[in-house]
């Protein structure tokens, strides 16, 4: 069993080409013995965004705080805020954008442990 | 891609022996095409709790709101509130308890899709 508050988890700048103003935390991963999945947390600063990209694995997301948009593979944007869940399927093009002027957007991004 | 707010997800009483005052939602599952994992949400009412039990699969948790305790396999309790993550390994005895008099405790409980 591992129990940890997000505030106690190291925050790093991920190496993600095309990302702007993004920090990463890794509260649960294979390092903790998680058999299949990892829980990452991305903090996206005002005006920041994740890459508009695809990858061969899915992710499951939850918006912990702030507000922003998810861009889908057609370039359409859907507004999200605290309380939204999303499922991005393998190879589905997507991006998370913080559309606020003042508030961080914070999201859980759960991925198969092989990827993080 | 699926995008949904928790408020739009049906809330049911789960069939869990030993649970008291617990509601379940299933925002992301195999029904949505999720390849490996499901995201469930449990709402535990004041004074309520999940079963003190074990099962052969892990779960990854995030406390969305409220406060309470996680009971470990020795019967020791760790206090948690919004912002806490936890990893319960396969076959590890555990329980979630809402210790508040007035506020719901709401947690994400991510499990392999075979189990939900």
Q: Is B66 on the interface with A (CB under 8 A)?
A: no
- Share the mean pLDDT of chain B: 97
Flag if A58 and B70 touch (Cβ within 8 Å). Answer: no
DSSP code of residue B53? B
Minimal C-alpha gap between A15 and chain B (Å)? 24
DSSP code of residue B73? T
Nearest CA in chain A to B38: A60
Q: Is A6 on the interface with B (CB under 8 A)?
A: yes
Query: Which chain A residues touch B64 with a CB distance below 8 Å?
Result: 62, 64
Q: Are A58 and A99 in contact (CB under 8 A)?
A: no
Q: What is the ipTM of this complex?
A: 0.96
Find all residues with CB under 8 Å of A5, minimum gap 6, and list them. Answer: B80, B83, B84, B85
Flag if A34 and B58 touch (Cβ within 8 Å). Answer: yes
Find all residues with CB under 8 Å of A8, minimum gap 6, and list them. Answer: none
Q: How does DSSP assign A16-83, residue by residue? A: -TT-EEEEEEEEESGGGT-SSEEEEEEEEEEEEE--SB--SS-EEEEEEESEEEEE-TTS-EEEEETT
DSSP code of residue B12? B
What's phi and psi for A50, nearest 5 deg?
-80, 170
Size of interface A-B (CB pairs under 8 A): 118
Read off the pLDDT band of B29 (50, 70, 90). Answer: very high
Q: Could you tell me the pTM of the whole model?
A: 0.97
Residue-level pLDDT at A15: 87
pLDDT along chain A (116 residues), means of 10: 98 93 98 97 98 96 98 97 98 97 97 95
Q: Are A59 and A16 in contact (CB under 8 A)?
A: no
Q: Are A41 and A24 in contact (CB under 8 A)?
A: yes
Q: State yes or no: pLDDT of B15 exceeds 90.
A: no
Q: What's the token pair of residue B50?
A: 């999940």
Residue-level pLDDT at A77: 97
SS3 of residue B14 by DSSP: coil
Q: Is B91 on the interface with A (CB under 8 A)?
A: no
SS3 of residue B99 by DSSP: coil
Question: For the segment B32-81, what is each residue's pLDDT rounded down to a tens digit?
Answer: 999 999 999 999 999 999 999 999 999 999 999 999 999 999 999 999 99
Question: For the segment B91-101, what is each residue's pLDDT rounded down to a tens digit?
Answer: 999 999 999 99
Closest partner residue to A34 (CB to CB) among B5, B60, B94 is B60
């Amino acid at each position: 069993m591992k129990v940890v508050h997000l505030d106690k988890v190291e925050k790093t700048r991920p190496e993600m080409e095309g990302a702007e103003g993004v920090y990463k935390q890794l509260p649960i991963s294979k390092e903790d013995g998680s058999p299949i999945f990892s829980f990452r947390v991305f903090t996206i600063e005002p005006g920041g965004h994740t890459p508009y990209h695809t990858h061969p694995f899915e992710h499951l997301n939850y918006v912990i705080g702030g507000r922003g948009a998810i861009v889908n593979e057609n370039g359409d944007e859907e507004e999200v805020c605290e309380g939204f869940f999303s499922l991005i399927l393998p190879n589905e093009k997507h991006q998370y954008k913080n559309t606020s002027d003042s508030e961080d957007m914070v999201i859980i991004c759960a991925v198969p442990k092989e990827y993080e």
